Amino acid sequence: MKILTDTNGLVRATETSWQQHLKMAIRCPQQLADRLDLPLDSICPKQSTSSFPLFVPLPFLSRIRPGDRNDPLLRQVLPSSRENEWHPDFSLDPVGDSRFQVTTGLLHKYTGRALMVVTGTCAIHCRYCFRRHFPYENSSTMARGWQAAVDHLANDHSIHEIILSGGDPLTVVDSQLETLIDRLKGIHHIKRLRIHTRLPIVIPQRITRRLVALLAKSRLTAVVVVHANHANEIDSEVAAAIDRLRSNSISVLNQSVLLKGVNDDPVALVELSDRLVEIGVLPYYLHQLDPVAGAAHFEVPVARGLELMTHLRRTLPGYMVPRYVREIPGEPSKTILA
């Protein structure tokens, strides 16, 4: 909370902006340890080094239980020495992004839709991120400009949906997003705009009135896909951000990743679906971990995933059960496991 003084000398409080939250995010293991009342050695063992730095915004940090080294939210963002272990089935490009890049920052994997890697900037560094090794400096549209991607989309009439991804596309300021969306809605065969983002979960202040109006007024049908893995990620501010989207007829879906020590038990997954539906978000996908180098310690065997899905189907109504999927490079769609 930021304290300001108005023209009458009265003190008033204003909400911290989403951009301020990005600037204030925790980047130092010592800061993280101090905030969570944990010894530094338990937060960041001396042998733990990584080219993928720590980055945790304060709104997300506030939901982590102090003193709990095994908190499911902390596990998602905490660097580990196990990230340096080599595993033969884990690679730098686990979903084959490089094979499907048709021009700078534009991936065309599936019929009827294309994905634009808008930026390499994220609002949080999830340790299991499947693009943690992606060459954003050469392959994002923000780095190289949007023209080549927009031209390709305009010339390919088979594409009816554009997916904005990254990094996180909502780390781009509203004015730049508006410019991009104006270009996209000028391509007549594009009908839908899908935004994959973690920001409504980790920094819900990002869902500004201007952003909501931008999405709501566009002729493109807007769908926002958020990313929460555990019910504890969803507090009242997240619920309010989702409500701002839904109140303007913007559909909101959730995708999760099945992660060891985070949500690989039936209670956690049931509670997540319960909480999502409570705030009006449809559980969409539960992803089998993409085998990205540095994340093997998060892997849950598919057999265990199938057991968990059986429990969900027995416990929840069908609309609350996400599809359990895996991405296999070269396949024409996600592979449904359950």
The token pair at 130 is 């499947």
Indicate if the pLDDT at residue 141 is higher than 80.
no
Q: Which residues contact 7 (CB under 8 A, 6 or more apart)?
A: none
Indicate if the pLDDT at residue 249 is higher than 80.
yes
Three-class SS of residue 336? strand
The token pair at 90 is 């884990």
**Cα 177 from chain centroid?**
17
Three-class SS of residue 56? strand
Indicate if the pLDDT at residue 140 is higher than 70.
no
Longest alpha-carbon distance in the chain: 66
Indicate if the pLDDT at residue 234 is higher than 90.
yes
Q: What is the pLDDT of residues 161-174, one digit of tens each?
A: 999 999 999 999 99
Task: Look at residue 10 in the predicted model and tell me its pLDDT.
Answer: 39
Q: What is the pLDDT of residues 22-54, one digit of tens each?
A: 999 999 999 999 999 999 887 776 545 567 899
Q: Using alpha carbons, select from 327, 253, 329 the residue that is nearest to residue 287.
A: 327
Indicate if the pLDDT at residue 238 is higher than 70.
yes
Q: Give the separation between CA 330 and CA 187, rounded to whole angstroms.
A: 27
Report which of residues 107 and 142 the model is more confident about: 107
Give the number of residues written for the chain. Answer: 338
The token pair at 59 is 């709104």
The reported pTM is 0.92
Q: What is the pLDDT of residues 46-69, one digit of tens each?
A: 545 567 899 999 999 999 999 999
Indicate if the pLDDT at residue 6 is higher than 80.
no
Please state the rounded mean pLDDT for residues 197-209: 98
